[in-house]
């Protein structure tokens, strides 16, 4: 019975290690993808557009309330 508990614990530990390793691989792949030049440029452009849109909306709202 002691060996069964030890075997179960070892199996659970191996499963956790595989799970953590898989999660780290996914994180690393996402990081590489986000650092890729086309993606970085697209994200930067989207943030510029978003910022300009917010500014335009704020200015329109200020003009309406003034």
pLDDT tens, position by position, 2-36: 578 899 999 999 999 999 999 999 999 999 888 87
Given the structure tokens 């996914």, which residue do they identify?
26
Per-residue confidence (pLDDT) for residue 65, from 0 to 100: 87
Angle at 40 between CA 34 and CA 45, to 5 degrees: 135
| pLDDT of 1 higher than 70 | no
Spatial separation of the C-alpha atoms in residues 46 and 57, rounded to whole Å: 16
Intra-chain end-to-end CA distance of the chain, in Å? 80
pTM of the predicted model, to two decimals? Answer: 0.51
Phi-psi region of 36 (alpha: psi -120 to 50; beta: other; left: phi over 0): beta
């Amino acid at each position: 019975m002691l060996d069964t508990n030890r075997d179960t614990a070892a199996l659970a530990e191996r499963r956790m290690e595989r799970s953590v390793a898989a999660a780290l691989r996914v994180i690393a792949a996402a990081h590489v993808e986000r650092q890729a030049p086309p993606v970085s440029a697209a994200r930067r452009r989207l943030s510029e557009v978003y910022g300009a849109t917010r500014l335009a909306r704020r200015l329109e709202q200020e003009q309406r309330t003034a």
